[in-house]
Amino acid sequence: MRQEQEGNLALLGGAHEAYSVHLDKFDGPLDLLLHLIRKNELDICDIPIAVITRQYLDYIKLMKDLNLEVAGDFLLMASTLLHIKSGMLLPRNDQEEGEEEELDPRAELIRRLLEYQQYKEAGEAIGARALLGRDVFARTWPEPVLSAARNDDGPLELELFDLVDAFRNMLVHIPAEKFHDVAAADSLSIADCINDILSLLQERETVNFDELLQGELSRERVIVTFLALLELCRLKLIRIFQNEPGSMIWLVPAVAQETAEDLQAALLIP
Amino acid sequence: MSLSSIIESMIFAADSPLSLDRLCDLLQEYTRDDIKAALAELQVFHEERAGGFHLAEVAGGWQFRTRADMHDYVIRHVKARAVKFSPSALETLAIIAYRQPVTRAEVEYLRGVDCGGVLKALLEKKLIRILGKKDIPGRPLIYGTSKEFLEIFGLKDLKGLPTLKEIQALDETPHYEQQEELPLAPVPDHIASQPPSDQSA
């Protein structure tokens, strides 16, 4: 057995070129360890730490030789391996042995490897499924049909991410700012912006997101509006809806209007 | 006009999977049991027909989908969306799917590697979502899979995930952190009967 492993090691030594081909395929130290274990046809529950550690370090050295940045995670695992090996070399304490079962220093690593292997396989399994948009297809609808048809239907409640996306889109449309601009005299305040939005919402039940940002757009204006919206959400004064991912975003008051006014008055005091 | 035809038409015209609850809501003149039976009938009908599409149960709803073996022909006309997942994305997704709710630190412990970039990409693709914050120091975000995940991977619900291969019973090393796992497989009695405090000790 031992000889066989040594033989494997020698074999592996000559296979550096083969390594470099696969360099980018390891998703982390655990992945690399699993690969080494499989390559050497070792039993995962009884890893010869010395052999594996040597190969592991060879690999890291190779990464360095190739001027690849060695992620800290790989180095951490290297030190873990060395730590385990040193733990195994230490004489066992006979007194403790009777009390507890002999704890294999490798146990933790083995458990992590097995667990990792499990999720790696699960990942491969779900990746092999028939994916919508890749292997199978459903009927799709053009955007105008969707947004027009389903205004009254239970709208989707938006997540913060959608809002951020919407604003990012907005920012793209703003022309690059001139550098020699003198700072504007009237700086925008979030409180003013909140008031604007609320009064707009009082006039009408729903306000379209795009309406908030009409007229002359500046980066500052967009950002202030965004912060105002976030603040309004936090205060639970408005709710934000979208009928379909990617479609128009609607703002709706979340509370009765008088309450909103009271709250607004109370909350805007710094 | 049979109920199954009615349901078939509604599913055909819907733009996203139609759930049983929604169907019951829309078809108040029929009982839930009838609707259920009609759905089962429809599914069998399309299965036996072995046509180009079938009735699939995904993300808690029903939707017509093309059969996977028609793929080569469908993409001649329909552009396949660039649904491509790297092994690391799939791994991360699998961990989140099976272990949710899960924090970034837990995912990184299991993968042994930094996952910030992968998580961000998955969030942007809306395959995972932020469920909230965990009530431990630092209040880290906790992640779970989204409805889009079920839709794209063609899963009925989370129980539809393939079962994980049993981890060989090694020893009683505590898990990284005790948390509720999804009911992936029937829980063996000796684990189920164990009070949770045993493991954290």
Q: Which of A69, A119, A242 has the highest number of chain B CBs within 10 A, making it the mutation to test binding with B?
A: A119
Instruction: Give the pLDDT of residue B145.
Output: 93
* Contact criterion met (CB < 8 Å) for A116 and B80: no
Q: Which residues of B touch A108 (CB under 8 A)?
A: 173
Instruction: Give the pLDDT of residue A142.
Output: 66
Which domains can be identified in chain A, with CATH numbers? 2-127 (no CATH), 143-267 (1.10.10.580)
pLDDT tens, position by position, A246-259:
667 777 777 544 45
Instruction: Give the pLDDT of residue B105.
Output: 92
Instruction: Give the pLDDT of residue A105.
Output: 79
Q: What is the mean pLDDT of residues A165-186?
A: 66
Instruction: Say yes or no: A132 contacts chain B, CB-CB below 8 A.
Output: yes
CA distances from residue A57 to A30, A43, A67 in whole angstroms, order as listed: 14, 20, 15
Instruction: Give the pLDDT of residue B174.
Output: 41
Instruction: Say yes or no: B85 contacts chain A, CB-CB below 8 A.
Output: yes
Instruction: Say yes or no: B168 contacts chain A, CB-CB below 8 A.
Output: yes
pLDDT tens, position by position, B35-67:
999 999 999 999 999 889 999 999 889 999 999
Instruction: Give the pLDDT of residue B72.
Output: 87
Instruction: Give the pLDDT of residue B3.
Output: 92
Fold of B87-178: Arc Repressor Mutant, subunit A (1.10.10)
Structure tokens at B195: 């009070």
Instruction: Say yes or no: A35 contacts chain B, CB-CB below 8 A.
Output: no
pLDDT tens, position by position, A194-240:
888 888 887 777 777 777 776 666 777 788 888 888 888 777 777 77
Residues in B 16-55 with any Cβ partner in A closer than 8 A: none
Instruction: Say yes or no: B191 contacts chain A, CB-CB below 8 A.
Output: no
Instruction: Give the pLDDT of residue A36.
Output: 87
Nearest-CA distance B65 → chain A (Å)? 5
CB-closest option in B58, B111, B165 to A116: B111
Nearest-CA distance A220 → chain B (Å)? 25
Instruction: Give the pLDDT of residue A19.
Output: 43
Cα B109 from chain centre: 23
* Contact criterion met (CB < 8 Å) for A111 and B97: no
Instruction: Give the pLDDT of residue A246.
Output: 64
Q: Which residues of B touch A129 (CB under 8 A)?
A: 153-155
Q: Which of A69, A81, A131 has the highest number of chain B CBs within 10 A, making it the mutation to test binding with B?
A: A131
Instruction: Give the pLDDT of residue B1.
Output: 82
Instruction: Give the pLDDT of residue B29.
Output: 92
Nearest-CA distance B37 → chain A (Å)? 23
Question: How far apart (Å, rounded) are the C-alpha atoms in residues B134 and A101?
Answer: 35
Instruction: Say yes or no: B77 contacts chain A, CB-CB below 8 A.
Output: no
Instruction: Give the pLDDT of residue A164.
Output: 75
Average confidence score pLDDT of chain A:
72
Instruction: Give the pLDDT of residue B192.
Output: 44
Q: What is the mean pLDDT of residues A85-97?
A: 72
Question: How far apart (Å, rounded) are the C-alpha atoms in residues B152 and B90?
Answer: 13
Closest CA to A243 of A157, A140, A139: A157
Level-2 CATH architecture, domain B3-74: Orthogonal Bundle (1.10)
Q: Which residues of A touch B129 (CB under 8 A)?
A: 159
- Domain map of chain B by residue range? 3-74, 87-178
DSSP per-residue string spanning chain B: --HHHHHHHHHHH-SSPEEHHHHHHH-TTS-HHHHHHHHHHHHHHHHHHT-SEEEEEETTEEEEEE-GGGHHHHTTTSPPP-----HHHHHHHHHHHHH-SEEHHHHHHHHTS--HHHHHHHHHTTSEEEEEE-SSTT--EEEEE-HHHHHHTT-SSGGGSPPPPPPP----PPPSS--PPP--SPPPHHHHTS-THHHH-
pLDDT tens, position by position, A121-140:
888 888 888 888 888 888 87
Nearest CA in chain B to A160: B130
User: What parts of chain B have a pLDDT lower than 50?
Assistant: 167-183, 185-188, 191-201
Task: Give every CB contact of residue A228 below 8 A, 6+ residues apart in sequence.
Answer: A190, A193, A194, A196, A197
Amino acid at B183: P
Instruction: Give the pLDDT of residue A125.
Output: 87
pLDDT tens, position by position, A55-77:
888 888 887 777 666 778 888 88
**Residue B55 main-chain phi, psi, to 5 deg:** -90, 115
pLDDT band at residue A185 using 50, 70 and 90 as cut-offs: low
Instruction: Say yes or no: B169 contacts chain A, CB-CB below 8 A.
Output: no
Q: Are B3-74 and B87-178 equal in CATH topology? A: yes
Range among A35-49, A85-99, B11-25 rated most confident: B11-25
Interface pTM, i.e. ipTM = 0.72
Cross-strand pairs, A253: A238
Instruction: Say yes or no: A110 contacts chain B, CB-CB below 8 A.
Output: yes
Instruction: Say yes or no: A246 contacts chain B, CB-CB below 8 A.
Output: no
CB-closest option in B15, B66, B90 to A123: B90
Instruction: Say yes or no: B68 contacts chain A, CB-CB below 8 A.
Output: yes
Question: How far apart (Å, rounded) are the C-alpha atoms in residues B172 and A229?
Answer: 50
Q: Indicate the burial class of A180 (C-beta count within 10 angstroms; 0-12, 13-18, 19 or more).
A: exposed
Nearest-CA distance A196 → chain B (Å)? 31
* Contact criterion met (CB < 8 Å) for B90 and A126: yes
Instruction: Give the pLDDT of residue B104.
Output: 92
Query: Is residue A179 helix, strand or coil?
Result: coil
Question: How far apart (Å, rounded) are the C-alpha atoms in residues A178 and A183?
Answer: 11
